């Protein structure tokens, strides 16, 4: 992976940079939002790891500027700001993931790998394709074999997240965080109910569902 890290704390920056470089990745670094924004707009990266509180230009402003200019590079925000509304604010600004400090490098690495694979699924038309299923992110439409399928907003968001991670196991925790904005397990069957509803709408053969249940792990959408 080619990664851009924008972090003003020298110790944190050195820790992250060393870890990714030892794992064989190419890493560029900036210590303020202004330089980070310039690097993000002039080079192509698989993932951007961005601190929220930065000098010159804050992290969320960097995210908003990139998204406003159709830069869809996956962005992971790092922040000590851990309140739910603060995390939601980051996601609504356009970042793809939000990791609260302090964090384990192993978790950061895992999240970065997932985001880099998500980039491979992004195309300029904002259209995702898995088998005969097509999802237009901009128009918020879904088609199966050319016929439109009407989904409710939460069903659309759930399908979109699964398709962004096509072929990968998506855990319940990931779905709760990114589809429902829950950062805790509400101990309900809300995910199972929505998966079941999705299956009735996108599966031509109920015995061969596109959405696979991976027992003890989560769900995976397959072609």
pLDDT tens for the 223 residues of the chain, in order: 899 999 999 999 999 999 999 999 999 999 999 999 999 999 989 999 999 999 999 999 999 999 888 788 999 999 988 788 888 888 888 888 999 999 999 999 999 998 887 765 554 457 889 988 999 887 889 999 889 999 998 999 999 999 988 888 888 888 888 888 776 666 778 899 999 999 999 987 777 889 999 888 889 998 7
- pLDDT at residue 166, rounded to an integer: 85
Domains of the chain: 2-121 (3.40.50.2300), 127-221 (1.10.10.10)
User: DSSP assignment of the chain, as one string?
Assistant: -EEEEE-S-HHHHHHHHHHHHHTT-EEEEESSHHHHHHHHHHS--SEEEEESS-SSS-HHHHHHHHHHTT----EEEEES---HHHHHHHHHHT-SEEEESS--HHHHHHHHHHHHHHHHH--TT-EEEETTEEEETTTTEEEETTEEE---HHHHHHHHHHHHTTTS-EEHHHHHHHTS--SS---SSHHHHHHHHHHHHH-S-TTS-SEEEETTTEEEE--
Q: What is the pTM of this model?
A: 0.57
- Interval 37-62: pLDDT, tens: 999 999 989 999 999 999 999 999 99
């Amino acid at each position: 992976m080619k990664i851009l890290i924008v972090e003003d704390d020298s110790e944190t920056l050195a820790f992250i940079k060393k870890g990714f470089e030892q794992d064989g990745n190419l890493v560029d670094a900036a210590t303020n939002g202004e330089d980070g924004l310039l690097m993000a707009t002039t080079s192509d990266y698989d993932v951007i790891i961005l601190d929220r509180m930065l000098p010159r230009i804050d992290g969320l402003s960097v995210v908003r500027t990139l998204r406003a200019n159709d830069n869809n590079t996956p962005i992971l925000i790092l922040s000590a700001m851990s309140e739910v509304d603060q995390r939601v604010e980051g996601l609504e600004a356009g970042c793809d993931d939000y990791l609260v400090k302090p964090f384990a490098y192993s978790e950061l690495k895992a999240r970065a790998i997932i985001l880099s694979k998500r980039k491979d699924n992004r195309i300029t038309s904002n259209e995702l394709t898995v088998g005969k299923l097509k999802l237009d992110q901009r128009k918020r439409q879904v088609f199966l074999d050319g016929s439109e399928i009407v989904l409710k907003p939460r069903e659309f968001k759930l399908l979109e997240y699964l398709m962004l991670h096509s072929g990968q196991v998506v855990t319940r925790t990931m779905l709760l965080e990114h589809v429902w904005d829950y950062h805790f397990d509400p101990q309900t069957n809300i995910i199972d109910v929505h998966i079941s509803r999705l299956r009735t709408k996108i599966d031509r053969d109920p015995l061969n569902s596109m959405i696979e249940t991976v027992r003890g792990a989560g769900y995976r959408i397959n072609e």
